[in-house]
Amino acid sequence: MTARNDVARNFTAAARRGRGRASTYQVTDKTRFVVGGAPGSWRDVSIGTVVQVRWHRAGSQRVADTVGIMGN
Protein backbone atom coordinates (compact mmCIF):
# COMPACT_ATOMS: atom_id res chain seq x y z
CA MET A 1 0.00 0.00 0.00
CA THR A 2 1.40 3.36 -1.00
CA ALA A 3 -1.11 5.93 0.35
CA ARG A 4 -3.97 6.20 2.85
CA ASN A 5 -6.59 8.93 3.23
CA ASP A 6 -8.58 8.71 6.48
CA VAL A 7 -10.92 11.60 5.58
CA ALA A 8 -11.93 10.17 2.20
CA ARG A 9 -11.65 6.58 3.52
CA ASN A 10 -9.61 5.30 0.63
CA PHE A 11 -6.16 3.87 -0.02
CA THR A 12 -3.86 3.38 -2.97
CA ALA A 13 -2.09 0.11 -3.61
CA ALA A 14 0.55 -0.55 -6.25
CA ALA A 15 0.06 -3.61 -8.41
CA ARG A 16 2.59 -6.42 -8.25
CA ARG A 17 5.63 -5.75 -10.38
CA GLY A 18 4.87 -5.83 -14.08
CA ARG A 19 1.13 -6.16 -13.57
CA GLY A 20 -0.12 -2.62 -14.13
CA ARG A 21 -0.43 0.66 -12.28
CA ALA A 22 -1.41 1.58 -8.76
CA SER A 23 -5.14 1.82 -8.04
CA THR A 24 -7.18 3.65 -5.43
CA TYR A 25 -9.86 1.75 -3.50
CA GLN A 26 -12.76 3.21 -1.54
CA VAL A 27 -13.51 1.67 1.87
CA THR A 28 -17.14 1.40 3.07
CA ASP A 29 -18.89 0.13 6.20
CA LYS A 30 -19.30 -3.20 4.35
CA THR A 31 -15.58 -3.64 3.61
CA ARG A 32 -14.13 -6.67 5.42
CA PHE A 33 -10.55 -6.57 6.68
CA VAL A 34 -8.68 -9.82 7.30
CA VAL A 35 -5.27 -10.09 8.97
CA GLY A 36 -3.74 -13.55 8.69
CA GLY A 37 -7.19 -15.18 8.64
CA ALA A 38 -8.50 -13.20 11.63
CA PRO A 39 -10.86 -10.22 11.48
CA GLY A 40 -9.10 -6.88 11.16
CA SER A 41 -10.06 -3.24 10.73
CA TRP A 42 -9.23 -0.08 8.80
CA ARG A 43 -6.61 0.65 11.51
CA ASP A 44 -4.62 -2.39 10.34
CA VAL A 45 -4.08 -0.84 6.90
CA SER A 46 -0.89 1.24 6.82
CA ILE A 47 1.57 2.49 4.23
CA GLY A 48 4.04 -0.23 3.31
CA THR A 49 1.61 -3.02 4.15
CA VAL A 50 1.14 -5.73 1.51
CA VAL A 51 -2.56 -6.14 0.76
CA GLN A 52 -4.73 -8.23 -1.51
CA VAL A 53 -7.96 -6.48 -2.50
CA ARG A 54 -11.22 -7.95 -3.79
CA TRP A 55 -13.28 -5.11 -5.19
CA HIS A 56 -16.16 -4.09 -7.42
CA ARG A 57 -16.75 -1.02 -9.53
CA ALA A 58 -19.38 1.55 -8.46
CA GLY A 59 -19.49 4.21 -11.13
CA SER A 60 -15.90 5.37 -11.57
CA GLN A 61 -14.74 4.13 -8.14
CA ARG A 62 -13.17 0.85 -7.12
CA VAL A 63 -14.90 -0.20 -3.90
CA ALA A 64 -13.02 -2.65 -1.66
CA ASP A 65 -15.14 -5.65 -0.61
CA THR A 66 -12.34 -7.54 1.20
CA VAL A 67 -8.86 -6.34 2.10
CA GLY A 68 -6.44 -9.13 3.01
CA ILE A 69 -3.56 -7.70 5.01
CA MET A 70 -0.37 -9.69 4.51
CA GLY A 71 2.16 -7.56 6.41
CA ASN A 72 5.15 -5.53 5.31
**pLDDT, mean over the chain:** 91
% residues pLDDT > 70 (the chain): 92
Instruction: Give 27-47 pLDDT, tens digit per residue.
Output: 999 999 999 889 999 999 999
Residue 57 pLDDT greater than 70, yes or no: yes
Structure confidence at residue 40 (pLDDT): 95
**Cβ atoms within 10 A of the Cβ of 46, count?**
12
| Between residues 67 and 20, the one the model is more confident about | 67
Structure confidence at residue 32 (pLDDT): 98
CA 12/CA 20 separation, integer angstroms: 13
